[in-house]
Amino acid sequence: MQFTNVTVEVGGNSYFGGAVTSRTLWFEDGSKKTLGFMQIGEYEFGTQAPELMEITSGEVEILLPNESQWQTIQAGGSFHVEGDSSFKIKVNALTDYCCSYL
């Protein structure tokens, strides 16, 4: 995955005591993505806008809103999350991700 013609926010985002970090990318068309890293652990994230999460390395298990079964997502996989919701994630291996805000 490679991006061109982007603006990167120098200040990073840090969650859960630094266990999850990311940097925000802005594209010429006004769209936004974050590139991040998650350490092994269990987390819950809230969303404002719909998101596409692409796992670029590592492995996670996710529990999406209104679901009862955890899904395993490995490097190269992705999942969608509705806006104004939350999802749970278990990070089983150090994981890199790209989050697109839809």
Please check whether residue 90 is in contact with residue 55, taking contact to mean a CB–CB distance below 8 angstroms.
no
- Domain 6-101 = CATH 2.60.120.10: yes
Residue-wise pLDDT for 64-102, tens only, equals: 999 999 999 999 999 999 999 999 999 999 999 999 999
Domain regions of the chain by residue span: 6-101
pLDDT of 1 over the 90 cut: no
- Global pTM? 0.92
Tell me how far apart the alpha carbons of residues 27 and 50 are, in angstroms, rounded to a whole number: 17
Please check whether residue 15 is in contact with residue 31, taking contact to mean a CB–CB distance below 8 angstroms.
no
What tokens were used for 89? 């994630």
pLDDT at residue 18 in the model? 97
pLDDT at residue 52 in the model? 98
Interior angle at CA 41, CA 37 and CA 47, nearest 5:
65
Residue-wise pLDDT for 34-54, tens only, equals: 999 999 999 999 999 999 999
